[in-house]
Structure 1
Amino acid sequence: MPLNVGNTGFMLLCASLVMLMTPGLAFFYGGLVGRKNVLTIMAQSFMSLGWTTVLWFAFGYSMCFGPTWHGIVGDPTYYAFMHGVTLHTMYTGNDAGIPLIVHVAYQMMFAIITPALITGAFANRVTVKAYFLFLTGWLIFVYFPFVHMIWSPDGLLAKWGVLDFAGGIVVHNTAGFAALASVLYVGRRSVVENKPHNVPLIALGTGLLWFGWYGFNAGSELRVDYITASAFLNTDVAASFAGTAWFFLEWSHARQPKFIGLLTGAVAGLATITPAAGYVSLGTAAVIGVIAAVVCYYAVQLKNRLGWDDALDVWGVHGVGGLLGTLLLGVFASKAWNPAGADGLLMGNPDFLWKQVVAAVVSGLWAFGFTYGMLWLINKMTPVLIDEHTQETGLDQTLHGEEAYSGSL
């Protein structure tokens, strides 16, 4: 297969954009927590940036895209430490003409940000050792298998007909329900900080996430074509409609226009359009954005009423958004917008919606159950929960001996 220079250049750009999302997430989460805990939450994202790359290089890519084991996971030894991968090895998953190393890099950026999303749920509560063990186990037993099942041509769910354009199931649904399990296991914070310490940091993080999401969604076509363009614009349309809808919805309830609500709504829209970005029309993307704002907003309100200490609303935004987007894809998908996709419920194909429901429920239940059990097991080896004194004095200084702001209290 000859090298396609245009597609290769585009995919390298998209990989760079998705990589930028992890620092963006660090800024987003960093602004939401208190002054004494900024570095700790940001460090968790950058820990994933480093450690996930090591695991991906060693066996992660192979588990995701190597020869299949019963359609559930790939052979971890096939590409281990990039064995057999040369300068001229081509990616054979399609005819886009990109080198395998480009696909390795692009998919690695998805692997990096997915577990980092979960950290917002247990902010200010989990020890560094426990986080490293959690990060490792979660990637191996949750993320890698679901990537293989849905995005590998030999994957069990892919062969069954499940679709997930850029990660509604693989990224947001699994991370969101793992976040909920984490919240229920570690319990409430000793010191609850519900007031963000730095709104400009949140805005900066949102901007970087939004910008990077074009690579996240449009790049998932793995080439430059008509679908790439529609996925790109669908991403912006859904985010804009969701951010605006959340802004007015919260304004009507809180009697004040909240900037953080606008930013949170945009992220909810981005998460919700992700599985459908390359399979639906532009008008549908706008509808999905509005639905995402309403459903995710009330999911966050439900979380508050139930007393779940999901510190940064990972379940309400990413978990519910990913689940919702997966189901809405089953409703709105149209082969008129992607001949390689499927027709959904509104196009006379209820069977496809059923497959999306099953995939979303199975992935959410597995992510939730495994995460809860893994945290219990980790706690047998090393304490998961940070002690009350450390939570009160601040994690940055106590755990890392550093502080975000000189002289901060």
Structure 2
Amino acid sequence: MEAADIAWILAAVALVALMFPGLAFLYGGMLGSGQVLNMFMMVMGSLAVTSVVYVIYGHGLVLGDSVGGLGLIGNPLEFAGFSNLLVNDGSGSLLTAGFYILFAAISLALVASGAAGRMKFGAWLLFGVLWVTLVYAPLAHWVFAFDDPETGTVGGWLVNTVGMHDFAGGTAVHMNAGASGLALALVLGARRSGATRPHNLPLTLIGAGMLMIGWLGFNGGTAGGANFLASYVVVTSILAAAGGMLGFIVVERVRHGRPTLLGLATGLIAGLVGITPAADAVSPVGAIAVGFLAAALAAWAISWKSHHGIDDSLDVFAVHGIAGIAGAFFVMLFGSAAAPAGVQGVLLGGDLSLLWREPLAVAVTLVWSFGLTWLIATAMMKVHDIRISREDEDMGVDRAIHAETAYELRQSTMFGQAARRADADTAADRKAAAPTPGPISSPSVGAADDAPTASTAS
């Protein structure tokens, strides 16, 4: 790997790492104020446990030589402990492994949408280990592991045998996380207090912006180096984000009469999800259309979820599952032969085999992800209740599980003392000025300083 390519991938790794605090801000701002720290912990905890799993045996499961040549799962011992990636042979294989750690970790972090505000933190970490091992790793092998005739390495069956097109993880990351988040939400059940209004929309928009920056590394780094493909997919990603913002707020304006900031942030993410499988296969105009369509469908899916009482708290199924499907189908129908991938959509005269290859990949992903996640969560629930108690949920998961609160509303000691002195002086003046003796109603001394120490739990 050339020095320029290594430099770009290093930059891409840094950008993708930025997605973790970005997702924490996005998700945390959308929740009630008593649940925000727990969501931060779940997102960052996903990075922690995934890194350990991936370095011990996960990279082998994903990119190792397929066991038995079947294309189902890689050899977990091939890259165990990254021990055989420590030679400076110019291939950049160690850097690639680090890049894929972040892919796996952000996939798990997205699933937290289905557990927001109601799952024990220790149970979440254990769930993460099981999910990355049993759900993510096999699917990522099917999608990311390519055959290598020179070394005789056999990769995954979806990308090599079926020949599906997925540039940067629309299946293994986004559809996978969407279906898994839905399954986890159904097993855990709805929050007892019901859905809460977003407590901090500026925080949500900051998170969406950080995710967009990270996404440029996510898609651009998948190009494998500092080349024209990286330039192309970065541009199509930006255009899809713009189309997504417009798509969602147009739907809001038509349906509800008002565009919202939350809708704009949601559309931004949906547009980026939609372009992930299609970034190298559509034209710049097509990228805008992908973003617009993906966001419009995500808006519909959010309404569908609400009507059916499904507490996928942060809409990972609608925004990542449905928008990811939209991106894959857009490649199938409207892919541009002029784009780097050279995949021409069937409506533009392309290969009719796309009509079964892409839908098969989508169907396999959804069934695998939903089914395995449902089984894992159900089994954990049977062994030991993984949901927090009613009392803890009423108190707020931040206080109950982490003994912390996101916001401290108590005034500082200096200002609190000044306020008490001012209140006391005012009360004394009023008493001295009273024309006749008798009970006097005075302001509560130090009321501001006795305010709750945290925002109201949702």
**TM-score for the superposition, normalised by structure 1:** 0.95
Asked whether the 8 Å contact 1:29–1:312 carries over to 2, the reply is: yes
Q: Select the residue among 120, 123, 127 that pairs with 1:127.
A: 120
Partner of 1:5: 3
Give the aligned partner of residue 293 of structure 1.
Answer: 295
Q: Is the 8 A contact 1:203 1:263 kept in 2?
A: yes
Of residues 209, 212, 215 in structure 1, which corresponds to 2:211? 209
Query: 3-state DSSP class of the match of 1:119?
Result: helix
- Unmatched runs of 5 consecutive residues or more in structure 1: 92-98
In structure 2, what residue type is equivalent to 1:56?
A: Y
Letter in 1 for 2:84: G
- The residue aligned with 2:169 is 167
Task: Give the counterpart of 2:222 among 215, 220, 223.
Answer: 220
Instruction: Spell out the pairing of 1:85-164 with structure 2 (5 A cutoff).
Output: 85-91=85-91, 99-153=92-146, 154-159=155-160, 160-164=162-166
Provide the residue aligned with 2:354 in structure 1: 352
**What is aligned with 1:74?**
74
The residue that corresponds to 1:194 in the other structure is 196
Cα distance in 1, alignment partners of residues 346 and 181 from structure 2:
30
Q: CA deviation at 1:295?
A: 0.9
Query: Does the CA contact (< 8 Å) of 1:28 and 1:206 recur in 2?
Result: yes
For residue 253 of structure 1, report the CA deviation from its aligned partner: 2.1
Q: CA deviation at 1:41?
A: 0.8
Name the residue aligned to 1:312.
Answer: 314
Contact 2:170/2:328 (<8 A) preserved: yes
Of the structure 1 ranges 264-273 and 345-354, higher mean CA displacement relative to structure 2 is found in 345-354
Alignment-derived partner of residue 267 in structure 1: 269
Q: Note the C-alpha offset of 1:381.
A: 2.4
- Aligned counterparts of 2:355 and 2:384: Cα–Cα separation in 1: 43
* Higher mean displacement: 186-195 or 49-58: 186-195
Task: Give the secondary-structure state (helix, strand or coil) at the position aligned to 1:73.
Answer: coil
1:357 maps to amino acid: P
Aligned equivalents of 1:342, 1:90: Cα separation in 2:
31
Structure ID, larger Rg: 2
SS of alignment partner, residue 336 of structure 1: coil
Rounded to whole Å, the distance in 1 between the matches of 2:186 and 2:330 is 28
More displaced 10-residue stretch of structure 1: 367-376 or 153-162: 153-162
**Conserved? CA contact 2:57–2:79, under 8 Å:** yes
- Take 1:219 and 1:380, find their aligned partners in 2: how far apart are those partners? 41
Structure 2 letter corresponding to 1:137: L
Q: Distance in 2 between matches of 1:123 and 1:306?
A: 18
2:394 corresponds to which residue? 392
Q: Which residue of 2 aligns with 1:94?
A: none
2: CA distance, partners of 1:332 / 1:203 = 31
Shift of 1:138: 0.9
Structure 2 residue aligned with 1:253: 255
Q: Deviations over 1:49-91 (max 9, x none)?
A: 1111111111111111111121111100011001222241444
Letter in 1 for 2:346: L
AA partner of residue 21 (structure 2): P
TM-superposed deviation, 1:242: 1.1
- CA RMSD of superposed structures (Å): 1.3
Once the two structures are superposed, what CA deviation does each residue of 1:103-135 show, in whole Å capped at 9, x if it has no partner?
011111111100100101221111122211211
TM-score normalised by length of structure 2: 0.85
How many Å apart are 1:237 and its aligned residue? 0.6
How many residues are matched? 399
1:42-81 alignment, distance < 5 Å: 42-69=40-67, 70-81=70-81
Identity %: 33
What letter corresponds to residue 319 of structure 2 in structure 1? V
2:305 equivalent to 1:303: yes
Q: What's 2:186 paired with?
A: 184
In 1: Cα distance, 2:35 partner to 2:258 partner:
28
> SS of 2:34's equivalent?
helix
Q: Which range is displaced more, 120-129 or 356-365? A: 120-129
Matching residue of 1:96: none
